[in-house]
Structure 1
Amino acid sequence: MTAMTVVSRRGFVAGGACACAFHGGSAAAADARIAPASMTALAPPGFRPTDTDERGIWHASERLEEEVSSSELLVKSPAVQRYAKDVVDRVMGDRARETRVYVVHDPDFNASMAPNGMMLVHTGLLARMRDEAQFAAILGHECGHYLRRHSLQQWRDTKTKSAIMAFVQAGAAIGAGVTAGIGGDGRSWIDLADSINGSLALSMLRFGRDQEREADAYGVKLIDTAGYPPEAAGEVWAQLIAERRASAAARRKKYRDRSAGALSTHPANALRLADLSASSRELRDVVVTGRRYDACKARWNDAMAPIRADLLAEQVRLNDPGASLYLVNALAGDGWTGLLRYNEGEAYRLRDEAGDAARASAAYAQAVALTDAPAEAWRAHGYALLKQGQGAAGKDALSRYLAARPAANDAGMVRFTLAQ
């Protein structure tokens, strides 16, 4: 199974973020914030579907879960898989038994939840979180979709649109035939039908704005109840906006909020951030005896430590230097590590603009000066020194790399370099 297989099938089964939604009434009414306290589950604990539509999507979800559970995309760390499930359990409370969680390799900032309780967590999400509370905020949002049964609503909407698509295509075929019969070009009819059906197909893949607002409100309520600071949800979106601005700036492009367009079914990012902030303040104002908030930063760092190098490498390989450098510097807010300095150097090396070679070399040198430098930092540092004409120091650094990684895939190449 490939990443695209998971994402595309998940899009139809579990939904995602909406692309084509139009709302009647005033903009103010359509964009009104939903109060977290108003959110309740639309199905009782232990719910099993009896409705034909819902049984159908549960069956499709179960088939997908069978594939995911044995996929090569799964992160090969039982401890990380258990940790993600533990956080979901805390968020779901007495409904924790209804969920299964799978952490999969995919660099996108994403998570999703199927109507049967299967949740997918992408490594791109793990890479960007600063603490457990932020991670819980995104998982709480997905649990909100699940508890509000948004997939069923979207499935029924999909059935209606599928019928419209079939009608449009049939009408286009008749029109094309008539046009061709009188010597015209019937292709324009097919093009028109494809255009209409393409827009409908996009809207079938994702949740609508109202559903996203409900999931936001429910998610904040869930993490607040679980004892995480509710403002963590707003922090995530503030970070995401900052990352996208940095990415655009590095590409010398103007930042545009794609979710602010008429065809987007996600609330605009700025509005979403404002709503989440207002909801968190609202929840903070409710005094609950004995409640203490904890972002669980230390626990998060301990859980991510075994895979942090892979998470960062996955992001840097995307070669989006603005985003990569933003992420590295943001994580360094808690202090620079050898791993962060090494990845800073890799981001500069891949960007390869004027002055970046010197910046990368400086970052590698700073990395190996720290006691927790990864072996790869010594390799990068060694080659940088060789390019600067510092043969002895460069070979010494490469030798340290080989001592730490004698069976590395590139060990033969490094030995060849040392023999020159």
Structure 2
Amino acid sequence: MAGWIIAAVLAGAALGAGASDRLAPLPPYGTAYTPTTVDERGLWQQADEAERDLRDSPAVVRDAALNAYLTKVLCRSVGEDRCRGVRIYVVRAPVFNASMTPNGMMVVYTGALLRLRDEAELAALLGHEFGHFEMRHGLKTFRRGRAIGDILAWTSVISPYSTLPVSLIQLHFAYSRAQETEADLMGLRYLSAAGYRPLAASRMWERLMAEDDATALGRKRHVTHHYAAGFFADHPTELARATYLREAAGADGERGDDSRDAFLTAMRPWRASFLADQIKLNDFGGSEYLLGELAGGQWTPDLLLTRGELYRERGNPRDLVSAAQFYQQAIDTGCTDPIAWRGLGLSLLRGQQEAAGRAALKTYLERAPQASDRAAMAMLIGEGGVQ
């Protein structure tokens, strides 16, 4: 019983801050926190070392224009004074994720950029991560971990059979979920104050739920969504986030700017690369849903090309027929990427349409004379001596 009492007291201290006035004006800006204790300085040093490693990593997208655009959106969202202490790193990884460290390092994955629909959704994502930074969640998590570790050490000596460790584990994850909710709602306040459309935040999570459903169905898994998070979940469920963000946006949720054109312009140079990374996830259901969402009824050449790659990679006989159609549609609508002819040729060859397949591969080699697979493709079309 004593374990549950102690855990309840800790939980009250950790989760007591409510969000009754969710879209209240932003709090006055306080300068970035300076670590004071030995442990805190150690935490900052670890974050600095992680940033140095990331800065030199080949996974980082080193595009000045893309990084400048993300910084501009962040500064519009949270304010010029707030954004000065943040360094944004775009990491080439085809999953929806972003993170923030106490020293001001923000990491945004390219999979998130691919899935966002407009600048308002980007602002919601960046504002959420900055909310963690401004509310010092990383530092609070560190302190909580130290406190829980100390309590567990004493408990193992005083009462080895206590239920307190289980209670503290539950508290740890509940506190993490509370921080995520707090950052979500702070991000929504940034979004509204900057003049963006508040409903962008909830719609982002609604689409991620739908993508998860498509992934599950594609892998023949049961589809379920729960409002309450599991025992070991450190984030609220996507359903919970979509629900409380939509409610918090209120009647003014549709008001504001989404800046879709500016977002699409900034992403255009990289979208083909991001789409190619997505195909490598081997997630047919989720990728097919994502491509449909990006198309919105308007299938552009790059999306048709990627859809052809998706179907060809799965490789069922009917898929090869569909893949050849998608490649051909991409070519007919103006695709100039040689990969379209390569995919078309391979799909036709595997579908027993040898003459058409060889013709497409020959066009591929003409359009990509320095292709790394030139020798292999030349053998497939019976021209092993092609130079």
What's the counterpart of residue 328 of structure 1? 291
Quote how far apart the aligned CAs of 1:325 are.
0.3
* Matched residue, 2:212: 244
Q: Residues 402, 416 of structure 1: CA spacing in aligned structure 2 closer, same or farther, 3 A cutoff?
A: same
Equivalent-residue separation in structure 2 for 1:312 and 1:170 (angstroms): 55
Q: Is the 8 A contact 2:312 2:347 kept in 1?
A: no
SS of the aligned residue for 1:339 comes to helix
Task: Name whichever of 365-374 and 322-331 sits farther off.
Answer: 365-374
Residue 152 of structure 1 is matched in structure 2 by 139
Q: How does 1:2-401 map to 2 (within 5 A)?
A: 34-38=20-24, 40-41=26-27, 44-93=30-79, 94-164=81-151, 200=169, 208-257=176-225, 260-281=229-250, 284=253, 293-333=256-296, 335-353=298-316, 355-401=318-364
Structure 1 pair 117–39 and aligned structure 2 pair: CA distance change class (3 A) = farther
Q: CA deviation at 1:87?
A: 1.7
Give the TM-score of the pair, scaled to structure 2: 0.84
In structure 2, relative to structure 1, the CA distance for the partners of 1:284 and 1:79 (3 Å cut) is: same
Larger RCO (CA under 8 A, 6+ residues apart): 1
Alpha-carbon distance in structure 1 between the residues aligned to 2:74 and 2:297: 25
Question: Are the equivalent residues in 2 in contact too, given 1:22–1:263 (CA < 8 A)?
Answer: no
CA contact (8 A) 2:26 2:189 kept: no
Contact 1:53 1:152 in 2 (8 A): no
- Deviation >4 Å, runs of 4+: 21-26, 29-34, 38-43, 164-172, 202-207, 282-285
Tell me, in whole angstroms, the C-alpha distance in 1 between the residues paired with 2:130 and 2:174.
16
| Structure 2 CA distance for partners of 1:237 and 1:354, relative to 1, 3 Å | same
Q: Is the 8 A contact 2:91 2:110 kept in 1?
A: yes
Please give the alpha-carbon distance, in whole angstroms, between the structure 2 residues aligned to 1:126 and 1:160. 37
Name the SS for the 1:103 alignment partner. strand
Query: CA contact under 8 A between 1:243 and 1:327: conserved in structure 2?
Result: yes
Deviation at 1:400, TM superposition (A): 2.6
- Which amino acid in 2 is paired with 1:270? L
C-alpha deviation, 1:70, in angstroms: 1.1
- Note the C-alpha offset of 1:308: 0.8
What does the per-residue CA deviation read over 1:178-198, in whole Å, with 9 as the maximum and x for residues that have no partner? xxxxxxxxxxx9xxxxxx79x
Change (3 A) 1:148 1:363: same
What is the CA–CA distance in structure 1 between the aligned matches of 2:16 and 2:282, rounded to whole Å?
38
Aligned residues: 371
Q: What percent identity do the matched residue pairs reach?
A: 36
When residues 171 and 412 of structure 1 are mapped into structure 2, their CA distance, relative to the original with a 3 A threshold, is farther
Query: Normalised by the size of structure 1, how large is the TM-score?
Result: 0.78
Q: Which residue of 2 aligns with 1:412?
A: 375
In structure 1, list runs of 5 or more residues that go unmatched. Answer: 1-20, 176-188, 190-195, 286-291
SS at match of 2:84: helix
CA contact (8 A) 1:22 1:262 kept: no
Verify the 8 A CA contact 1:337 1:373 in the aligned structure 2: no
CA distance in 2, matches of 1:23, 1:395: 73
Q: 1:205, 1:358 → 2: CA distance?
A: 48
Which one is further off, 30-39 or 381-390? 30-39
Distance 1:281 1:23, change over 3 A: farther
Q: Unaligned 5+ residue runs, structure 2?
A: 1-6
Q: 1:331 to 1:212 in 2, by over 3 A?
A: same
- Shift in alpha-carbon separation, 1:367–1:168, aligned structure 2, 3 A: farther
Aligned residue number for residue 3 of structure 2: none
CA deviation profile, 1:345-371 (whole Å, cap 9, x unmatched): 222223334622222222222222220
Compared CA separation, residues 59 and 304, structure 1 to 2 (3 A): same
CA deviations 1:209-256 (Å, max 9, x no partner) are: 221111111101101112211110011001000000111111121123
Instruction: Answer whether contact 1:234 1:277 (CA < 8 A) is retained.
Output: yes
Say which SS state the counterpart of residue 260 (structure 1) adopts.
coil
User: Is the 8 Å Cα contact of residues 34 and 217 (structure 1) preserved in structure 2?
Assistant: no
Contact 1:33 1:213 in 2 (8 A): no
Partner residue in 2 for 1:179: none
Task: Let me know the Cα RMSD of the aligned residues.
Answer: 3.4
CA distance in structure 1 between the aligned counterparts of 2:94 and 2:48, rounded to whole angstroms: 24
> What is the CA-CA distance between 1:333 and the residue it aligns to?
0.3
Contact 2:29 2:82 (8 Å CA) reproduced = no
Give 3-state SS (helix, strand or coil) of 2:348's partner: helix
Measured in 1, the distance between the counterparts of 2:114 and 2:61 equals: 13
